[in-house]
Amino acid sequence: MAGIVTEPWSVAENGNPSITAKGSSRELRLGRTAHNMSSSSLRKKSDLRVIQKVPYKGLKDFLSNLQEVILGTKLAILFPAIPAAIICTYCGVSQPWIFGLSLLGLTPLAERVSFLTEQLAFYTGPTLGGLLNATCGNATELIIAILALTNNKVAVVKYSLLGSILSNLLLVLGTSLFCGGIANIRREQRFDRKQADVNFFLLLLGFLCHLLPLLVGYLKNGEASAAVLSDMQLSISRGFSIVMLISYIAYLVFQLWTHRQLFDAQEQEDEYDDDVEQETAVISFWSGFTWLVGMTLVIALLSEYVVATIEEASDKWNLSVSFISIILLPIVGNAAEHAGAVIFAFKNKLDISLGVALGSATQIGLFVVPLTIIVAWILGINMDLNFGPLETGCLAVSIIITAFTLQDGSSHYMKGLVLLLCYFIIAICFFVDKLPQKQNAIHLGHQAMNNVVTATGGGVFSS
């Protein structure tokens, strides 16, 4: 029966089979990340009284799982977009419709993946559960990036990943600070700066890895051809990607083991004491694992639709691919997580909101971006960390202004408003971008790189 399930890992760890639900749930909360807490704000409690009357156990378990996984979210109304996108694909409907429906379908799936990873954490323990959530937290962006790579759409990959970082730093955090400041206008909003400082150190490290390949392109002189410079950009990008992945692994060790207390989600004990039953698993381990695999496959399918139709949608809607990838994709793909961050800001729980925005930006910048570089390397596709001067400049300003905004550990609505206005400025810039992709700075030297390795012999990081 997919009702209340006890946490076997907590019994094993404590060595006490009679451990109370309250104690085990408190232990699990220590492993919950801000992403878990944010997504949980969009969930609704399921009423299983009717299902419990079903006489057949197998059917009752299936219906209980269906109720918890599909209908247990406030975003369930968007699930019909998934079959609609599939039907439109096979019925020859206009590609912009398929693109729009696929984006809508990805919204509840991203929230459900977070829910399922949290359910599995009840059985794996808080540390392994936190690691699982850190890996799957941005599964949608990673899948879209890999599928775009297989279609050799390097520009879409770079744009979408950059957009995810910008939306987290400016849009999500700005909206959270603004709404939280308005809702608590007569109260001082404070947060712990420690985890924010760690994230900014890592984001600046990632920015350095983007800046240096860009600067290499300006080293052109009489002795260095464009092909040689492109080869240098490609080689150092691959080396930097390995360093970035190492730094992300160190970040996970820091977050999940050595300094976990800095990243514990902000919580009110008195609120949780009245609602302890929500801190127990509602589906079994294998049910959660099966649903997680199934939803990941559906995300991959819809992501394939998004990648295949983005250029047609760009033409029909008269919007540049850069605007759709940097602005629209991150907003829709992470809508559930973003909404949760804003809700907690309303409740004056800024530590959770900051954990969502900064944690997601760090994960994209130091895990998803370098991983796509490595995957492209394996696939024989030349992708580097040079995102172009305009894009890299936007990244730099976003990191710097967000760091200055959070430097004193307090917040008010004016800080959020400034971050939002910065995001709107960047959005306007890419909205009016009508340059063909081949002329865009993000592609300078890309065609030359296709033949560089053969022409120059490559370096230690060349394929």
Phi, psi values for residue 179, rounded to 5°: -65, -40
Contact 108, 75 (CB under 8 A): yes
Contact 214, 392 (CB under 8 A): yes
Indicate if the pLDDT at residue 394 is higher than 90: yes
Residues 135-146, mean pLDDT to the nearest whole number: 82
Indicate if the pLDDT at residue 164 is higher than 50: yes
pLDDT in the model for residue 5: 43
Kindly state the helix (H) or strand (E) to which residue 306 belongs, with its residue range: helix 285-317
Indicate if the pLDDT at residue 59 is higher than 80: no
Q: How many angstroms separate the Cα of 293 from the Cα of each of 37, 153, 300, 386?
A: 22, 26, 11, 34
pLDDT in the model for residue 190: 86
pLDDT range class, residue 384, cuts 50, 70, 90: very high
Neighbours of 370 (CB within 10 A): 24
Angle at 152 between CA 296 and CA 446, to 5 degrees: 140
pLDDT in the model for residue 53: 63
Tokens standing for residue 359:
């944690």
Q: Which of 90-104, 110-124, 401-415 has the lowest mean pLDDT?
A: 110-124
442 vs 433: CA distance, rounded Å = 13
> Which percentage of the chain shows pLDDT scores above 70?
74
Contact 333, 168 (CB under 8 A): no
* 43 DSSP 8-state letter: B
73 vs 39: CA distance, rounded Å = 9
Residues 98-126, mean pLDDT to the nearest whole number: 84
Indicate if the pLDDT at residue 169 is higher than 70: yes
Q: pLDDT by residue (tens digit) across 14-38?
A: 444 333 333 444 444 444 555 555 5
Q: Which of 65-79, 224-238, 239-253, 434-448 has the lowest mean pLDDT?
A: 434-448
pLDDT in the model for residue 98: 92
Q: Which of 26-30, 288-292, 422-426, 435-439 has the lowest mean pLDDT?
A: 26-30
Average pLDDT over all residues of the chain: 78
335 vs 104: CA distance, rounded Å = 10
166 vs 423: CA distance, rounded Å = 8
Q: pLDDT by residue (tens digit) across 96-108?
A: 999 999 988 988 8
Handedness of CA 184, 190, 195, 200 (dihedral sign): positive
Q: pLDDT by residue (tens digit) across 297-341?
A: 999 999 999 999 998 898 888 888 889 999 988 887 777 778 878
Tokens standing for residue 341:
């961050």
408 vs 94: CA distance, rounded Å = 51
pLDDT in the model for residue 186: 82
pLDDT in the model for residue 336: 72
- Residue 252 one-letter amino acid: L
Contact 46, 68 (CB under 8 A): yes
Radius of gyration of the chain (CA): 23
Indicate if the pLDDT at residue 450 is higher than 50: no
Q: Which residue has the higher pLDDT, 362 or 218?
A: 362
pTM of the entire predicted model: 0.79
pLDDT in the model for residue 88: 92
Q: Which of 374, 95, 137, 404 is nearest to 251 (CA)?
A: 137
CA 230, distance to chain mean position in Å, is 30
pLDDT range class, residue 50, cuts 50, 70, 90: low
Please tell me which of 272-281, 288-297, 354-363, 364-373 the model is most confident about, judged by mean pLDDT: 364-373
pLDDT range class, residue 446, cuts 50, 70, 90: very low
Residues 121-134, mean pLDDT to the nearest whole number: 70
Indicate if the pLDDT at residue 244 is higher than 50: yes
Tokens standing for residue 71:
């209908």
End-to-end CA distance of the chain: 52
- Residue 126 one-letter amino acid: P
115 vs 279: CA distance, rounded Å = 12
Q: Which residue has the higher pLDDT, 130 or 95?
A: 95
Tokens standing for residue 235:
């080689």
384 vs 372: CA distance, rounded Å = 10
Contact 20, 114 (CB under 8 A): no
245 vs 371: CA distance, rounded Å = 7
Angle at 83 between CA 82 and CA 89, to 5 degrees: 95
Q: Structural domains in the chain?
A: 153-261+308-433 (1.20.1420.30)
pLDDT range class, residue 377, cuts 50, 70, 90: very high
Please report the beta strands in 167-258, taking only residues with DSSP state E, as ranges in sequence order: 189-190
pLDDT in the model for residue 116: 84
433 vs 157: CA distance, rounded Å = 17
pLDDT in the model for residue 224: 60
CB under 8 Å to 87, separation ≥6 — which residues? none
pLDDT range class, residue 63, cuts 50, 70, 90: confident
pLDDT in the model for residue 17: 38
369 vs 170: CA distance, rounded Å = 19
Phi, psi values for residue 366, rounded to 5°: -110, -5
Q: Which of 115, 162, 174 is nearest to 345 (CA)?
A: 174
Handedness of CA 205, 367, 450, 231 (dihedral sign): positive
pLDDT range class, residue 346, cuts 50, 70, 90: confident
